[in-house]
Every structure is written in structure tokens, then in C-alpha cells.
Chains A and B, each alone.
Chain A
Amino acid sequence: MSFGYTDIGYAALLIAFIAAGFSAISFIVGKVQGYSELLEAGRRAVYAVCGLFTLASLVMIYALVSRDFGVSYVAQYTDRALSLPYTLSAFWAGQEGSLLFWGWLLSIFAVIVLVQNRTKHRELMPFVMAILMATTTFFLMLLTMVTPPFLRLPSAPADGQGLNPLLQNMGMFFHPPTTYLGYVGFAIPFAFAMAALITGKVDDEWIRSTRRWTLFAWFFLSLGNFFGAQWAYVELGWGGFWAWDPVENASFMPWLTGTAYLHSVMIQQRRGMLKVWNMVLIIVTYALTIFGTFLTRSGILSSVHSFGQSNLGPFFLAFIAMALVLSVGLLIDRLPYLRSENELDSMMSRESSFLLNNLILLGAAVATFWGVIFPLVSEAVRGVKITVSMPFFNQVNGPIFLGLLLIMGICPLIGWRKASKENLIRNFLYPTVLTIGFAVIAYVLGLRDIYALIAVSLCVFVVSVIILEIWRGTRARRRTAGENYLVALCSLVWHNKPRYGGYIVHLSIVMIAMGIIGAFAFKTEVDATVTPGEMINVDRFSLKYGGLSEYPRGDKDVVAASVEVYNGGKRVGYVYPAKLFTAKQEQPTTEVAIRTTAMEDLYVILGGWDKDQSASFKVLVNPLVVWIWIGGAVMLLGTAIAFWPDEREKRRLDARYRAGGA
């Protein structure tokens, strides 16, 4: 066979594999033996690996864009009819491409870390880079030996097999890349943590230098989950956004532990406590990101979006096992260095409430994990195959998240060490009174679902605590600086970005919680078959079915129902739920019609029809769902503020750093 451009891609990955392995080893040997030349060689190899990964990725992009169906991957996931953006998105549609994309991101992150710390952390950096390069080597091993992305077919077919219609949604551009950015991003704090253990430099240095990376990874993992939920909501057409599918859980678990970590490092930075705990959390989070890829890619659990069986399972399991054994072993060996500088003083303290928040988050992760693996355990132990369905996850996580909401209200404002009576009264008296008042009124007005009542009341509590705090800060600033309210508010936030960014994220969580409560507790659902002119009544809405029409759109054939919507007797417009057919793929795609308002989503699915134009619909009214997406946007804002460099925070930490004398 002649030499093709895809061989360049393969060669690049092969050389990168060698370079990454070399780099990892030379960092360790260079550091331990004190050969600065080896360290320099290791650093250069990091750039080389990134360059080679970029080259291989460009080859992939070229193969996709040039529609070279001689390349097996291109033929499997695209066809001529596919538009250019979706053709490009096929980069991460399949297993080989996903792993290539993952490795590419990791190699880019490695270069960024290297450049950021060129003159810093001389002790830590060689080990940080060695760990990042070892992870990269693992992915390169998969890419060169197990699932090579550039396999060629014996002869090029005239056309490819096309991208699954369900993947042809805007979500395809957002959900996979953001999730990957999150997954890969957690490798950086993990690498720093391990480097700190190896060198014994277990003060806060590693936490300080990875705060941004942690926020970055957490942020993208959050976004990834949002985009996934949104995608499922508009595309899968069952009316919900979260099904506790193993693959969804796969990205949810590291999010939980990552959130716990994000909070508990604050305690270490402020009080020098929870050092072992933080190590455990970051190790678990890193392992869960790899486990997530394993779940998604191995097909070991039956999932609605299981991507077909593959041979990757054992490799991932071996890698996770190795990472866990090494990092936990290292942690145990270094326990004497990780002694707490302080002790818990009181139950009523910031430290205790953070610890409780951590326990709850980790509890949710463990419970979810147990639900995910229980079918495997049951099969192995009792020989009985079972599945754990949605009710389990809802029943378990419902109360846990209520606890989390409560803690979210208390945590940020309770005093350190031992909260004084004044502190408690000052911060929580009004919100508590307001919350109880609200709960009583809501109950009297007819909110009898006890779960929903508690949940909504807790939302009121959290919001009122935060608003009270912001109001006080603004008022004080207005007095002292003589600014007007708006300026005072902005400068308040600006001069303490991590803190107020955090508050904004908390407010966004409340919005999301409201959306979830609405969708779970107050959803109404109706299945109906109607003839043209007939009405369907759901909640306050009446839907008048007008009839079906069929028309072409691009290469697709659309069958759409026209439905007139009345809200409380008043006409508010039309919706057009539809099914799309393509000539080539006999699988239709359902196009759900969603009419969104701040109060609720009207969600209409066209189920089927008959020759006489009668059609069947599934209609849902999902209250408050839009607040989940708005909450996502607010979370973006809050994280961006917390991410922004903050002078005061830096000075404060510098001061602690010097005082600590570490």
C-alpha cells in the first residue's frame, strides 16, 4: 500500500507515544538524579507531544473535511450529505476520535501548565509534568495500539454511513467538548497533588497553584452536564432532561466530588485543616473522570447511549487500578506530613458546615456510584441480573440535595471556629423568619407536597441569606465610599471576586433547584389521540389540533402537525411538533415542539398519525424548566467572576503563607 497522508497521522501518534513516555521518565530521573539536561529534554518533549497531537488532529480534520471515505472512521461517522459543521463534530462522535480529542486537550493543557510555571514551583513541576505525561502516554498507547483512529478501508466506499440523526443537534458542538475539557482539566490539580505528596511539599502551594485549574475543570464539567441535559430535553423526546443513565452518572459523579474538593480546599487554605481529605477528594475525582470515560466507552453497563461494545474496558480498568494503588499508597506513606494544623472547635462553625457539605456531596457520589455498579455487583455475587431504575436515584438524591441546599444557606456566613450568638442572629434571624413565614403561606395557599414545600422554602432561605449579605455589604460601601447603590454593589463584588462569584454560583444553584423541583413535583402529562379540530386539555392549556402537513427541508422530509395553543382560553400561538425522515436513514427524528415561558414549558411530542389525519400526541407541562438553563448562564457569570484575578485574595493568601512559615 502506498504512503497516504493518514500515515502521517499514525506516525505522529507513534512518535508522540515514545516522546510522552520518554518525557515522563526523564522528568523523574532528571529530578531525582539532578540532571538538569534531562529535565530540559523532558520539557522539550512536552512541546513535541503537543505538536504531534496537533498534527494528528489536523490530519483527522483534513480527512473529515475532504470526505475521504477511504478512512474507516470518516466512512463510519459521516456522509456526503452531512453539513460541514457536523462533519467537523464527527471528530468526537466516535471512540477513536474522542480519545484523540481527549489526548490532544491533555497535551495542550500540559504545555500551558509548563509555560505558566516556567519559573515557579521548581520542586513540584518535574513530578507534575511526569504525571501529566504518564496519563498522556496511556491515551497514546490506546491510540497507537488498541483503537487507532486512522485505519484505512481496503477500498473507499462511494459514501459514508452518516452521523446518527440524534447526534445532529446543536448539543453535539457543546456537550462533548465541554465535558472533555472538564474531565481532562481535573488531571492538573491531581498531578499537582501527587507531586506535593511525592516531594513532601504538602503545604498549600499545590492548592494555590491549581485553584484556577480546578475552577476551570469544574466549570466545564458543569457546562457539559448542562448541555447534555438540554440536548436530551430537546432531542430525545421523552419530556425530561435527566434520566440517571449510567453515562449521565459518569459525568455527574466527578462533578459531585469536584464540587466537594472546590469547597474543602478553602478550609485548608484558611485553617490548615482537611489536608488528607483534600488529597482523597482529588484522587477520587481524577479516578472518576477516567472511570467516566471507561463507562461511556466500554459498554459494560446497558445504557440508552451505550456506544457499542469495545475492547477498551480492561485497559481503562487497569489504568484506574494502577492510578488508585499508586496514589493511595503514596498518600498513606505521607500521612505524617498531612497533620492538621487546627482542630474543629465547634459544631456551629464554618469548618463544621464545610465538612458537612463535603460529607453530603461525597455521600451523593457514593450513593450514585452504588446505584451504577449495583447491577454488576448483583450479577457477580448472586448471579441475578437486575437494573436500578430512576426512582432509586431520585429517592436517594432528593433528600441529600435538600440537605445540601440547607448547608448552602448556612455555610458561607456562619462564623469561623465557633460561631457567636451575634453572628448567628445577624446572618440568619431574618432569613429564618422569612423562610418559615413563606412556608406557612405556601402551605395555606395549597402547596401540600411536603417535599416540594421543604425544597422551595430552602431555596427562599438560601436566597434571602445571600441577598441580606450582599445588601449589607452594598449599604456599608455606599456609606463609607459615598457611592450610589449600583456602583457600591459592583465594587463590592469586584473587590472580593472569589467570594461574591461564589454567592452568584449559589444563586444559580437555587435557580436550577427550582427548575428541578418544578419538573419533578409539578409536571403534568397527557397522552391523547385527536382528529383535526379536536382539543387536548392539559393544565391551563388547551391545544387545538389543526392537521398534518408534509414538506421537504433540505434533504429531509418533514411531517408536522399544526397545533394552536390556548392558555386559559386565550390564544397564544402555534406549535409544530414534527417527525423528520431522511431517504437514507429510515430512523425518523422526532422534533419536539417546546413553548417556553418563565413559568413553564409546554412540551408537545407528535407520537404518530393515521391516514385519516388523526394524530396522537404526548403533551407535558413542565413548570420552571427554563430556570435550569438560566441558572446555567448565571453559573457561568459567577464562575467567571470567581476565576478573575483578585488582588485582595492574593494578598490575604500571601500573608497566611508567610505567617505559616512553611
Chain B
Amino acid sequence: MIGSQARSRPLSAVSPRKTSFLKQRKFLIGGALVVLAIAYLVYSSLQGSTVYYMTPTEVKNQAQSLEGQVIRVGGTVVDGPVNFDGKNMILKFEVTDNTTTFPVVYKGVVPDAFKPGVDVVIEGKYTAAGVFEATSLLAKCPSKYVPEL
């Protein structure tokens, strides 16, 4: 049997456990306080930092309830009109999930990986006019690079 040799050996230097519970109680309470504090921190931080992650179709369907709310949308850049105003750093393109397509306006530095056909994650607000005003734009950077032929 594995470990049978060890099992028969007396345990070395184990201190008496009489006062154990009383003695250790304050440590248990202290530890529990730390754990609770961290749990509270996680809980409270989570409240303000979660953002809906949706597809363009879901956004369009729930457009009314989403008004004014910051959301994230994942989709593909439409292989078509992409307009970059380098002077004002305003990028206009369309994003799609193959069912729904809507225009996006983004102001800021365009990530290198951005181009038509690439998957992007945009964060911002969907306006009543049906335009997505993005404040952040992430383009997926696959380690595998497949150029269009």
C-alpha cells in the first residue's frame, strides 16, 4: 500500500489542541473580515464596470431600452465604405453581424489591425438616429495573419 509506512509513523510534535478554538477564534474572525472586505470590493466594483456585450441585431431590436446607455458591440467591419478623416481623426464605417448592419462613427486613434472584413469590438452609445457613436474601438489581432489575396 502506498504510504502505509508513513501511516504507521507517529506524527511529530503536534501541539495540544485544548485551547485551540478559543485561541484561534480571533484569527478566524480577522481572516473572515479580510475575505468579506475583498468580496465587498468585488461586488461594488462589478456594479459600475459591466457593460452589455451585444451583436448588432440585438442592439437594433432593443434600441429603445438602450438609449443613452454605454454598450459594447462585437461585429465585422463591412467591406465597403470606410472613411477616415485623418485631420480630425474621425473614422466612419459600418459594422455587421450578417443580419443587421449599422453605421459607426468613431473619434480617436485607429488601431493598426483595423480594416474592412476584420472583427471589431466597439464601445459607445447607439443613438436614436441609428448611428453608433463609438468611444473605443478594438480590432482583433489574430496571431495568424491571413492577407486578402
Residues of A within 8 A of B (CB): 32, 76-77, 93-94, 161-167, 198-203, 236-238, 272, 302, 304-308, 334, 336-337, 339-344, 347, 352, 355-356, 359-360, 363, 366-367, 370-371, 374-375, 378, 384-392, 395-396, 399-400, 527, 529, 584-590, 605, 607-610, 614-616, 618, 660-662
Contact with A along B61-88 (1 / 0, CB 8 A): 0000000000010100000000011111
B38 pairs with A607, CB closer than 8 A: no
B50 pairs with A392, CB closer than 8 A: yes
A–B Cβ pairs within 8 angstroms, 30 of them: A93-B143, A94-B144, A162-B147, A164-B145, A198-B3, A199-B2, A200-B7, A237-B111, A305-B141, A306-B142, A341-B14, A344-B23, A352-B27, A355-B31, A363-B34, A370-B42, A375-B53, A390-B49, A391-B48, A392-B45, A392-B49, A395-B44, A395-B49, A585-B145, A590-B109, A607-B109, A615-B86, A616-B87, A618-B108, A662-B12
| B105 contacts the other chain (CB 8 A) | no
A237 pairs with B143, CB closer than 8 A: no
Contact with A along B24-45 (1 / 0, CB 8 A): 1011001100110010011011
B34 pairs with A77, CB closer than 8 A: no
How far apart are B27's CB and chain A's nearest CB, in angstroms?
Answer: 5
| Number of A-B contacts defined by CB within 8 Å | 199
A387 pairs with B50, CB closer than 8 A: yes
State A390–B15 Cα separation when bound (angstroms): 47
- Most chain-B Cβ atoms within 10 A of its Cβ — which of A236, A527, A608, A661? A608
Candidates B48, B51, B141, B143; contact of A386 at CB < 8 Å: B51
How far apart are B100's CB and chain A's nearest CB, in angstroms?
Answer: 16
Q: When A306-B140, A359-B31 are in contact, do A347 and B26 touch as well, CB less than 8 Å?
A: yes
Contacts of B12 in A (CB 8 A): 203, 341, 660-662
| B121 contacts the other chain (CB 8 A) | yes
State A370–B121 Cα separation when bound (angstroms): 22
A387 pairs with B35, CB closer than 8 A: no
How far apart are A346's CB and chain B's nearest CB, in angstroms?
Answer: 9
How far apart are B19's CB and chain A's nearest CB, in angstroms?
Answer: 9
State A618–B49 Cα separation when bound (angstroms): 25
B109 pairs with A343, CB closer than 8 A: no
- Most chain-B Cβ atoms within 10 A of its Cβ — which of A302, A347, A609? A302
| B20 contacts the other chain (CB 8 A) | yes
Contacts of B23 in A (CB 8 A): 343-344
How far apart are B73's CB and chain A's nearest CB, in angstroms?
Answer: 11
**In the complex, what residue of chain A is closest to B55 when comparing beta carbons?**
A385
B87 pairs with A307, CB closer than 8 A: no
State A341–B144 Cα separation when bound (angstroms): 54
Contacts of B3 in A (CB 8 A): 198-200, 334
Q: When A166-B141, A342-B15, A608-B84 are in contact, do A590 and B112 touch as well, CB less than 8 Å?
A: yes
**In the complex, what residue of chain B is closest to A370 when comparing beta carbons?**
B42
A237 pairs with B50, CB closer than 8 A: no
B27 pairs with A389, CB closer than 8 A: no
A308 pairs with B143, CB closer than 8 A: yes
- Shortest Cβ-Cβ A-B pairs, 7 listed: A200-B6, A608-B86, A392-B49, A200-B3, A363-B38, A395-B45, A164-B145
B49 pairs with A391, CB closer than 8 A: yes
B112 pairs with A616, CB closer than 8 A: no
Contacts of A374 in B (CB 8 A): 46, 50
State A77–B146 Cα separation when bound (angstroms): 9
**In the complex, what residue of chain B is closest to A303 when comparing beta carbons?**
B140
Q: A341-B12, A367-B38 are in contact. List 11 more A-B contacts (CB 8 A).
A: A161-B147, A166-B112, A200-B5, A341-B14, A359-B35, A371-B42, A386-B53, A391-B49, A395-B45, A396-B42, A587-B113
Residues facing A in B83-114 (CB within 8 A) are 84-89, 108-113
Contacts of B15 in A (CB 8 A): 340-343
Contacts of A336 in B (CB 8 A): 11
How far apart are B80's CB and chain A's nearest CB, in angstroms?
Answer: 16
Contact with A along B133-149 (1 / 0, CB 8 A): 00000101111111110
Contacts of A359 in B (CB 8 A): 31, 34-35
State A584–B149 Cα separation when bound (angstroms): 10
**In the complex, what residue of chain A is closest to B1 when comparing beta carbons?**
A32
Contacts of B128 in A (CB 8 A): none
Contacts of B46 in A (CB 8 A): 371, 374, 388, 392
Contacts of B54 in A (CB 8 A): 385
State A608–B109 Cα separation when bound (angstroms): 8
State A164–B141 Cα separation when bound (angstroms): 8
Contacts of B146 in A (CB 8 A): 161
| B60 contacts the other chain (CB 8 A) | no
Q: When A200-B7, A610-B86 are in contact, do A367 and B41 touch as well, CB less than 8 Å?
A: yes
How far apart are A499's CB and chain B's nearest CB, in angstroms?
Answer: 25
**In the complex, what residue of chain B is closest to A585 when comparing beta carbons?**
B147
Q: When A200-B3, A661-B12 are in contact, do A385 and B143 touch as well, CB less than 8 Å?
A: no
State A167–B115 Cα separation when bound (angstroms): 18
State A386–B47 Cα separation when bound (angstroms): 12
- Most chain-B Cβ atoms within 10 A of its Cβ — which of A162, A167, A389, A400? A389
State A615–B5 Cα separation when bound (angstroms): 77
**In the complex, what residue of chain A is closest to B49 when comparing beta carbons?**
A392
**In the complex, what residue of chain B is closest to A352 when comparing beta carbons?**
B27
Contacts of A200 in B (CB 8 A): 2-3, 5-7
Q: When A161-B146, A304-B141, A587-B112 are in contact, do A607 and B86 touch as well, CB less than 8 Å?
A: yes
B48 pairs with A164, CB closer than 8 A: no
